[in-house]
Structure 1
Amino acid sequence: MGKKDTKETHPHSVTELCEAGSRLYANALRNGRIPRADAEAAPCLTEFALLHPDPDDSDWLRPVPPSVALAQRLTPIEREISEHRRLSIALTETFEPFLTLSAQDTSSGHAITVLEGLDRINAALDLATAECASEMLTIQPSGPRSTEKRLMEALERDKPLIERGVRIRTLYQHTARYNSERLAYVEQFANGKAEYRTIDELVERLIILDETVAFLPIRDDRQTALELRHTGLVRYLIKVFEFMWSRAVPLTAGAPYETAPDGITDIQHSIAKLLVEGHVDEAIARRLGMNVRTCRAHIAKLASALGSGSRAQLGYLIAQSGILDQDH
């Protein structure tokens, strides 16, 4: 065991030669060799091949000339630099014919970009977020349950923005008020420049940064998204956001599912509106951010309140009751 311990290496690189190693290597260069026993104080010297056994006497070690030791370490580095230089030249030659073509129409070339795959979508989001300087607007529809991974991704993106003073405004569905993971996420920014509101119904996700770029998915599985940099489109989406924001309720304002004088809750009014529009249970649940079982429970309560005995009769009674004409 004792012999093995003497061969332990120092935890440093050759560019940070320890004090004992520097002293011993200098002595070896001045004297031509040093006793092997002395070198045990700096085992890194043999590990880095700065000392090698004396062929005439195994009890002594001779130094490798500094020029030789330096060349041994520089050669692979220079080879790698040359390879990167060769690659950069090859890439430049490959793209050079296209540079003049893209320069002919820079006004609309990147106005709309299709991003395929989560890796590319997240990379584009990360880049735009890093460049964001003033405000980020987001619409975040919830599924039946939020995944921890998705919330962690949002946290990693939002936290640096808050820390450098960027304002964040986010819209959720009312059901987010009963999602413990979502509430824990929001709580982390309670003292920052972040505002959260909820509204009964959201259609799709939207992210807008600095009135410059907007991201929105174009497939239900969120594997494909659009990156919009067209000024007119981005401004239009901001107006849509502001319209919804003005009708939303601050997350800290208490539960919005209060029972109206007619005995029907706000969420049931939202479900009634979607039922009359012809949406099926699954679509209603998705748009309101709840699971289908909860949605059907609300439908059952709505039917009971209106005295409906069937789904077909429920739609008729909703229309006749006038509840959709009221301002909720």
Structure 2
Amino acid sequence: MPCLMDTALLHPDPDDADWLIPVLPSAALTQRLQPIEREIREQRRLAIELADVFEPFMAITAHAEPTTQGLTVLEGGDRIGAVIERATAECRSEILTVQPGGGRSEDSLTEAMKRGQTVLDRGIMMRTLYQHTVRHSQGTLAYAARMAQGNVQIRTLEELVDRLMIFDRTVALIPARADRQAALELRHPGLVEYLAKVFEQQWNRATPLVEEVPYPPSTDGITGVQRTIAKLLVEGHVDEAIARRLGMNVRTCRAHIAKIAAALGSGSRAQLGYLIAQSGILDKDT
């Protein structure tokens, strides 16, 4: 009976206090819900008032990114592009860029051409590192030829770690996610200088785009790029990882692997690794 009284399913008879009268469950439920609904309405009203109070402050910080000691997290392609545009506009003397991967899409080349023309017009020095595979991309070669008319130098390497942009050695951008939808804007002098030194080391090892890649001569029917693939195979990398590191598609990578296997007389992937190690072709790298 106390539970029924607490849930309003029983209430005292107004004519006789010694008796309890049952209440319809729907009526009892309505009675119990009324104070809860009043509280909900009050909380909703309070939430609206708070939102109105904070709205002017939210507008001030709507476009700000979390920054910690010279590091800013940039979310979204549009925001990253806007920061690159701003850094390019503020740049006064030098831009260093690393662009791994093979040939670039028409859209990305058009955007790069527009940004690069601005750099040329202002007399800014620009150095860019690509991977050797761009030498087989007509679109990228045409872009490079156009850019090389000014203070722009382009070199290629077989392997590059990841994308990098450095402006006047004061601000750098590096990717924060593989999908390229997040990046880090770095302004800490120590970090930017370290990245600039990494760039210089890679630049000194790279080959100017107008020159032939100094691959060692083919040996036993295996080219220089195929020796690089063989080395990565022996190290245990899968086809997709090798293709990504060398800036080529997986189909091209597997075609090279098939040629290596044919040259060494391998009938399986396990045997291929053994034959590569036994053949001594990796000892002939320079």
For the criterion TM > 0.5, the same-fold answer is yes
Aligned to 2:15: none
Aligned to 1:124: 83
The 5-angstrom pairing of residues 60-139 of structure 1 reads: 109=68, 111-139=70-98
Matched, 1:309 2:267: yes
The 5-angstrom pairing of residues 140-289 of structure 1 reads: 140-143=99-102, 145-256=103-214, 259-289=217-247
CA distance in 2, matches of 1:212, 1:251: 27
Deviations 1:290-315 (A, max 9, x none): 11111111111112222222111111
Please state whether the residue corresponding to 1:113 is helix, strand or coil.
Answer: strand
Please state whether the residue corresponding to 2:237 is helix, strand or coil.
Answer: coil
Aligned to 1:19: none
CA distance in 2, matches of 1:207, 1:182: 18
Structure 1: where are the runs of 5+ without partners? 1-89, 97-107
Q: 1:164 to 1:292 in 2, by over 3 A?
A: same
Paired residues of 2:148 and 2:154 also in contact (CA < 8 A): no
Aligned to 1:291: 249
TM superposition score normalised by structure 2: 0.73
Shift of 1:110: 5.1
Shift of 1:323: 2.7
Shift of 1:131: 1.0
Q: 1:179 to 1:93 in 2, by over 3 A?
A: closer
Q: 1:185 to 1:310 in 2, by over 3 A?
A: same
Deviations 1:164-214 (A, max 9, x none): 111111111111001011011111122211111111112311111111111
CA distance in 1, matches of 2:58, 2:195: 40
Aligned to 1:14: none
Q: 1:174 to 1:91 in 2, by over 3 A?
A: same
CA RMSD of aligned residues (A): 2.2
Shift of 1:122: 0.5
Aligned residues: 227
Paired residues of 1:176 and 1:182 also in contact (CA < 8 A): yes
CA distance in 2, matches of 1:170, 1:279: 27
CA distance in 1, matches of 2:57, 2:257: 62
Specify which structure has the bigger relative contact order, considering alpha-carbon pairs within 8 angstroms and separated by 6 or more residues: 2
Amino acid at match of 2:71: I
Paired residues of 1:177 and 1:255 also in contact (CA < 8 A): no
CA distance in 1, matches of 2:192, 2:230: 32
Paired residues of 1:136 and 1:207 also in contact (CA < 8 A): yes
Please state whether the residue corresponding to 2:147 is helix, strand or coil.
Answer: coil
Shift of 1:262: 4.4
Shift of 1:287: 1.4
CA distance in 1, matches of 2:255, 2:227: 14
Paired residues of 2:234 and 2:277 also in contact (CA < 8 A): yes
Deviations 1:21-51 (A, max 9, x none): xxxxxxxxxxxxxxxxxxxxxxxxxxxxxxx
Shift of 1:258: 6.3
